[in-house]
Structure 1
Amino acid sequence: MTVEEDPKKLKLYSYWRSSCSTRVRIALNLKGLSFDYVAVNMAKGDQLTAEYLKLNPLGYVPVLVDGDTVVFDSFAILMYLDDKYPQHPLLPHDLQKKAINYQVANIVSSRIQPLQNQPMLNFVEGKVGLDEKLAWAQYHIGKGFAALEKLLKDHAGRYATGDEVFLADIFLAAQIHPAIKKFNVDMTQFPLLLRLYAAYNEIQSFQNAMPGKQPDTPPSSTS
């Protein structure tokens, strides 16, 4: 985890396949913020080194370093970025829309992603076997997506809460991508989310943040 350091430049500790890292990469791109990308190879255990645990005691990605400020947890990072760098706000002024954005973000970050991240899947495999691992992930993703479909059906426009990109879209894009590419979720069950995902595929800031386009993406990856 070495990088040519510019103390004035944002630094993002990231793993190419991490959906939590994807969220932050999207936000940085939307806000037009340049940053140094520090690859954390989670497959090799970089996140468990003493050096990295000083940044994030939980041993997860991402971590944002902004001068003397260190922020871990993608939700906290996004709120920090929005407070300090107000260009392209991540939350609408309308209170109802803001509440919906928070709800979407929380459903993804607390009810879907933790139940299909790699440590959880490794635990499930150890308890009930390899064959059940994919079914576990698909079940929890599907349950969360069904709730999101209901939540957004009366509020979505071109994007999740209207015709502007906000926080909900960042969380959705980062979650739908692995649902399709990694977990083979049948998205025809979720037509609204599938439509939103198609819209995200047309936004360069989103596409440049996707797993397959990162400096540490393996050459053989199809994600």
Structure 2
Amino acid sequence: MTLKLWWGSGSPYSWRIQLFLHEKNIEFESKQVQFSKKETRTDEFLKMNPRGKIPVLQDGDIIMYESMAIIAYLEEKYGPLGPSIKNPNERAKVLTRTYEAENYLLVQGYDFLRYIYGFKQDKEAAIKNYDALIEEMSKWEKYLETAKFFAGEDLTLVDCLVVPFLYAAERSGFDYKAHGFSKISQYVEENRNRSSFVASSPPHYKETPGTNKVADFVQELKKERQQ
């Protein structure tokens, strides 16, 4: 029976599941949810996920939500990404960096984008968040100095988590080279046309332009710190 995935355009938690499925060449029925139509609040949807959030995965009689739980289930059923992680040391690295991404990089990264787009209004907090994010990204830049992907020479679950943030930040005007992250910039460019990245990319990314919100924030911050 074909998997069914309910997802929304731009949701990084949906995106990571789609990226995993496309990278593993796992067939699934795509069920795009329209936020503007409040489709996550219908009685039918709430029966699947009473929290009214995406993604939701259905596999026969099994219905799951929470993206990390879904990925854990998919890895158990179909195997993890990356042939090298059959090695216990490589698998340990993938698991460690997966939770590094989830608990540090993405917490700081998505919080910063929320400030940038006005979902949070405290400017001083936004500046502290930005500084913490740059420090954290420096660690991820180093991961790419010795490997093609964030946990080694093969694309793994770590990349599935980090990619949605990197492209969302870029679309918001984050200039990786200007921040000294040449390896991250190279990673973004080299993988832009990877089939799984293209297939999982949010539809509205293709239909609407990005912004310069991060670049504007950084420019204003530089001026303030020079005064």
Q: What TM-score, normalized by structure 1, do the two folds share?
A: 0.75
The match for 2:167 among 177, 189, 192 is: 177
Give the conservation status (yes or no) of the 8 Å contact 1:125–1:133. Answer: no
Structural mapping, 1:142-181, within 5 Å: 142-150=134-142, 152-153=143-144, 156-181=146-171
Q: Which has the higher helix share?
A: 2
Could you tell me the percent identity over the aligned residues? Answer: 22
**Cα 1:71–1:137 shift into 2, 3 Å:** farther
**Cα 1:54–1:73 shift into 2, 3 Å:** same
After TM superposition, the structure 1 stretch with the greater mean CA deviation from structure 2, 59-68 or 94-103, is 94-103
SS in 1 for 2:44: helix
**Count of matched residue positions in the alignment of Structure 1 and Structure 2:** 206
Number of the residue aligned with 1:187: 176
SS in 1 for 2:86: coil
Distance 1:196 1:219 in 2: 20
Rg larger for = 2
The match for 1:204 among 195, 205, 208 is: 195
Task: Give the alignment's Cα RMSD to 1 decimal.
Answer: 3.2
Structure 1 residue 197, shift from structure 2 partner: 1.9
* Aligned-partner residue type, residue 169 of structure 2: A
Structure 1 residue 65, shift from structure 2 partner: 0.7
Whether 1:21 and 2:8 are equivalent positions in the alignment is no
Gaps of at least 5 residues in structure 1 are 1-7
Number of the residue aligned with 1:95: 88
SS in 2 for 1:38: strand
Distance 1:181 1:114 in 2: 18
Give a deviation string over 1:17-54, Cα, whole Å, max 9, x none.
11111111111111111211111222443223333233
SS in 2 for 1:25: helix
